[in-house]
Amino acid sequence: MGPLAPLYIGGAGGMGREALTLLRAADREREVSGFVVDDAFAGAAGAVEGLPVRPWSAIAATASTLRFVVAIGSTERGRLIAAIERSGGRFETLVHPSVEIPPGVEIGADCIVLAGAIFTTNIRVGPHTIINLGCTLSHDVRVGRQVTLAPGVHLAGRVQVEDEATIGIGAVVIDGVTIGAGTVIGAGAVVTKDIPPGVVAVGVPARVIRHLA
């Protein structure tokens, strides 16, 4: 087996630095060649945590020879993911070494699972999803593509979280509820019934307060 391809962390903000912390905890920092950011943020190029920050255009031509994990907790994540996919780059999934992934739990490509996350059984997590510190996912949960679970989110059994949804810090979703695609659930919310796609819902119990454009 030859040497591993260089690994770039997509995004150089807080989530990117947390991904680097995870890699350090796993004794994998030596695999990381640096951070990469969308060209719109090229002004941020420099160094973070002692590693170079490079604009996408600087590495796009060689992306097919590289590995990536996209650690951006915002709407810019999708743009960088699409650029990597078009260029043939390979995605890496990062799971903190303290987290156990039991049999019957599937984690997609380019996911980040931070310390304290707990999985039980028969769980599917789609690609490009961030599962933050201290989240719990119970039996038969389904999480879609490019979802963000903020720290301390708790998903009870048979919950479904559709693509590109965001669930805020400390939110709780009770058994069997579906969170629609692109929806944002506010911090501390308790979701007791299905929430439609493309809305913001907050409160206890959670209620829709507005529709997203």
Question: Given 46, 61, 92, which residue is the final one in a domain?
Answer: 92
pLDDT at 181: 97
* Final residue of a structural domain among 42, 70, 92: 92
Cα(166)–Cα(188) distance, integer angstroms: 13
- Say if 128 falls within a structural domain: yes
pLDDT band, residue 40 (cuts 50/70/90): confident
Q: Which of 212, 175, 178, 209 is nearest to 196 (CA)?
A: 178
Total tally of structural domains belonging to the chain = 2
Do 180 and 122 share a domain, yes or no? yes
User: Is the domain of 77 the same as that of 115?
Assistant: no
Q: What is the residue range of 177's domain? A: 95-202
pLDDT at 211 > cutoff 90: yes
Measured CA distances, 212 to 29, 52, 78, 171, 173 (Å): 39, 36, 17, 20, 21
In a domain, 207, yes or no: no
Among 61, 92, 123, the domain-final residue is 92
CATH number of 186's domain: 2.160.10.10
Q: Residue 55 domain-assigned? A: yes
CA dihedral 15, 20, 25, 31 (to 10 degrees): 150
**209 belongs to a structural domain:** no
Q: Is residue 1 part of a domain?
A: no
Q: What is the CATH number of the domain that holds 62?
A: 3.40.50.20
- Tell me the β-bridge partners of 123: 105
pLDDT digits (tens, 9 = 90+) for 47-68: 888 999 999 999 999 999 999 9
| DSSP H stretches of helix in 14-70 | 14-25, 56-59
Provide the whole-model pTM: 0.94
